[in-house]
Structure 1
Amino acid sequence: MTPRTSDFQLLDHCLTDAEFSELPGFYRNKVRDAYQLPDRRRLLISTDRQSAFDQVLAAVPHKGQVLTQTARYWFDQTEDVCPNHVISYPDPNIVMVKDLDMLPIEIVVRSYLTGSTNTSLWSMYDQGNRVLYGHEFPEGLKKNQQLVEAIVTPTTKPAQGGHDAPITESEILETQLVTPAQWYELVERSLALFARGQELAAKKGLILVDTKYEFGLDENGAIVVADEIHTPDSSRFWIAETYQEKFESGEEPYSLDKEFLRLWIVGQCDPYKDPIPQIPAETLIEFSNKYIALFERLTGLEFEKPDPLVSMRARIREALAKELPEYF
C-alpha cells in the first residue's frame, strides 16, 4: 500500500520524549520512559522510539500505543498461565505496574531456526556453530526451518547500554544467577506462555516463531512475567499461509514484526560494524502499518489512531495528572 501524505505528516508527531519533571524516579530505556514510584509501583510509558541492534534509530508512528495495547491483549489472555505485573492502563501508551525484583536473565523461546542478530539461532548456526545455548543441532539445516520442539535459549540481561549474551542452563545454575527452583519454574512458565501464544496466534493465521520474556519476583517471592509479552518488538510473527512456499524457495516468510526493519538494515550495512543509514520515511510507514496489522489480526479489534490535532504529550500528561494527582 502506497503511503499517503497524511502518513508522512505523522512522522512529525511521534512521541519521542515522555519525561515529566513532576514525577519522581525517572529513567529511560530504549523505547520506554519510566518512573520508579515510592509505593512499589512503576509507571511505564511506551514512546514511538524504535530500536534495533541495540540502538535507537528512528521514531515510528503509533509504535508506543501498538506495543502497549498488544501487550495488554496478551497479558489478559495469559494471566491464568502466569501472573503478570499489570495494575492499570491510565492511557493507551501507559501501563502502571508492580515494582518487581527483576531476575538477571531473559528467557527466549524459539521454535524455528531464524534471526538476523548475533544472538539468533540462524546467525550462530550459519557461522558453523552446532551447539547453541547448550542445545545440539545437526548438519544440513536451512534458515527458517522449524525445530523439532520449542527450546529455551536464555541470555544475560545487559547493563544500560550493554548487549545481551547467550548463556546455558548449566552456566546459570553454576553461577547461581537464579536458584535451581526458580530456573525450572522459569522454563516451565516460559514454555507454557509460548504454547498459549502459538495456540492463539494459529487461530488468527499467524505463526509465533519466537519471543522474549522477562520475569521478576513480587513482594511474596512469586515469579511474575513483566515488561511486555508477545509484541512485535519482542517476538517474530509470520503469516502462516506464506511460510511453506517461502521456506521452500529460500525466501523470508511474510512477517508482521521488528524483523522487517532488521532485514532492511542488514541489507544496507553490517549493523555491528558500520554506521546505520537513515531509514527512509516510506520504510517507517510500512513498518508502522505492519505493527497495526498485527494488532488488528490478533485482537480482532480496529486500531484506534489518536487524534493528530491533539498533542500526545499533553494527552499523556492529563492522564498522569488523573492517575497521580498528588504529583500535579
Structure 2
Amino acid sequence: MERQRLIDAIPYCLTETNLPLLDKYPGKVRDTYDLGDGRLLLVTTDRQSGFDRMLGAIPFKGQVLNRTSLHWFAATKHIVGNHVLRSPHANALLARKCRVLPIEFVVRGYLTGSTDTSIWTQYAKGVRQYCGHALPEGMRKNEKLQQNIVTPTTKETAHDRPITAQEIVAEGWMTAEQWEFCSAKALALFAFGQKIAAEHGLILVDTKYEFGVGDDGEILLIDEIHTPDSSRYWLADSYAERLAVGQEPDMIDKEFFRLWFRERCDPYKDAILPVPPDDLIAELASRYIQLFEKITGTAFVPDLRPLDATVIAGLSA
C-alpha cells in the first residue's frame, strides 16, 4: 500500500468501539463483548500498546491482526482446536466463550527483546536461569537458542510476571495436566509457524499463545496467533550477515517501533511519551501489511464497510 495513503489514514484509525451491546471489556488492543449466549465478539482496534501503556494508533492494524490470526487459526487446526466461529468484518471475530487459563505461553527461539522482562534484557543483567531454563555463557543478542523454549508469564492486571512450570502448578495457576498439554501444543504451534515462516523468507523469532477451556472441557487456542503484535519476525536472508557484524536483524514486526521509544525516553517511568512522527507510524503499518501478504500470499485490501452496522448484522447471520 502506498506510503501516502497510510499517512492519510492516520486520523481515521479505529481507536475505540461503542457497539450497542452489553458487557464490553476494553483490552490493550481488542474490545471484547460478551453476547451472553456462549459467544464473544472480539473487535481488534488499531491501538498500539507497548511497555504496559498505549503508544498510539496504526492505520489498518486491527484488520491486519485479525485476518492474520484467522489465517493461522485455520492452518493450525490439526495441532489444536481454537475458539473461532466466524468473522463478520475484517476487524471482528465471533468466538466461543472460554474460561481463560491465566498464563501466557511465550515461546522463544532466539535471545532477544527490549522490554524489562525479555530474555535478552535479563541475560544482559547476568541472569542465567530464565523461567526454569539454564542459559549458557557467552551468547550474543539475537543469537539462536540451542532449542525452542517455553517461557511462561502470568496474566496480571499491573504487570506480567515470568514464572516457571513448577511455580505455575505450585501456585495453582494451572493443573499439571493443563500445563503439560498447553506447553506441548505451544511448542508444536511454534515449530509449525517457524516452518511456514521459513518458506516465506521469514524467521519466526518468538511469540505468545493463550489457551482457554470450553464448556465441554476442551482446551482451545484463543486470542490471536502469529500476528506481528504477538510475534517477532525477522527477514531470513540478511539475518546471518547482520548478526555477524553486530547489527539488529531486519525486522518485520513492532520491535523497531518500541526501540524508537526506548532511545528517546524511559517508557516505563516517563509520564509523557514523545509523539512518533507520521512516517514512523506509516512504516509500522507498512510492515504489518507486508507480513500479512508474505504469510498469506494474498494482497491486503482494506475492509471499508461500516464496522458497527456490518458487525451487528453479522451476529445473526
Query: Deviations 1:239-290 (Å, cap 9, x if unpaired)?
Result: 0011101111111101111112111111112212224211111100000000
Letter paired with 2:68: T
Per the alignment, residue 191 of structure 1 pairs with 187
Q: Quick check: 1:74 aligned with 2:72? A: yes
| Alignment counterpart, residue 305 of structure 1, candidates 302, 305, 315 | 302
Distance, in Å, in 2 between the alignment partners of 1:234 and 1:197 is 13
Query: Deviations 1:129-185 (Å, cap 9, x if unpaired)?
Result: 1111111112111000001100000000012xx111100011112112111111100
Query: Deviations 1:1-47 (Å, cap 9, x if unpaired)?
Result: 9932x432211111112112x21111101111110111110000011
| Alignment counterpart, residue 221 of structure 1, candidates 217, 225, 235 | 217
Q: Quick check: 1:291 aligned with 2:288? A: yes
Q: Quick check: 1:321 aligned with 2:312? A: yes
| Alignment counterpart, residue 61 of structure 1, candidates 56, 59, 62 | 59
Letter paired with 1:252: E
Per the alignment, residue 205 of structure 2 pairs with 209
Q: Quick check: 1:258 aligned with 2:257? A: no
| 1:237 shift after superposition | 0.5
Letter paired with 2:167: E
Unaligned segments of structure 2, at least 5 residues: none
Distance, in Å, in 1 between the alignment partners of 2:169 and 2:90 is 39
Q: Secondary structure at the match of 1:210?
A: strand
Q: Quick check: 1:103 aligned with 2:101? A: yes
Distance, in Å, in 1 between the alignment partners of 2:225 and 2:203 is 15
Q: Check whether the contact 2:88–2:315 (CA below 8 A) recurs between aligned residues.
A: no
Query: Deviations 1:41-80 (Å, cap 9, x if unpaired)?
Result: 0000011111111111211100000000000110011011
| 1:126 shift after superposition | 0.5
Letter paired with 1:289: S
Q: Quick check: 1:151 aligned with 2:154? A: no
Q: Check whether the contact 1:237–1:257 (CA below 8 A) recurs between aligned residues.
A: yes
Letter paired with 2:36: P
Identity across matched positions, percent: 47
Per the alignment, residue 45 of structure 2 pairs with 47
Query: Deviations 1:193-246 (Å, cap 9, x if unpaired)?
Result: 001100100100100000000000011111101000000000000000111011
Per the alignment, residue 24 of structure 1 pairs with 22
Per the alignment, residue 128 of structure 1 pairs with 126
Runs (4+) of structure 1 moved beyond 6 Å?
A: none
Query: Deviations 1:91-133 (Å, cap 9, x if unpaired)?
Result: 0100000100000111000010000011111000011111111
Distance, in Å, in 2 between the alignment partners of 1:54 and 1:272 is 8
Q: Quick check: 1:117 aligned with 2:110? A: no
Q: Secondary structure at the match of 1:241?
A: coil
Per the alignment, residue 7 of structure 1 pairs with 6
| Alignment counterpart, residue 282 of structure 1, candidates 262, 279, 283 | 279
Distance, in Å, in 2 between the alignment partners of 1:306 and 1:221 is 35
Per the alignment, residue 247 of structure 1 pairs with 243
Per the alignment, residue 138 of structure 1 pairs with 136
Q: Check whether the contact 2:3–2:282 (CA below 8 A) recurs between aligned residues.
A: yes
Q: Check whether the contact 2:6–2:285 (CA below 8 A) recurs between aligned residues.
A: no
Alignment CA distance shift 1:117-1:323 (3 Å): same
Per the alignment, residue 32 of structure 2 pairs with 34
Q: Single out whichever of 97-106 and 256-265 deviates more from structure 2.
A: 256-265
Letter paired with 2:16: D
Q: Check whether the contact 1:19–1:33 (CA below 8 A) recurs between aligned residues.
A: no
Distance, in Å, in 1 between the alignment partners of 2:190 and 2:316 is 38
Distance, in Å, in 2 between the alignment partners of 1:8 and 1:291 is 14
Distance, in Å, in 2 between the alignment partners of 1:269 and 1:192 is 38
Distance, in Å, in 2 between the alignment partners of 1:152 and 1:285 is 33
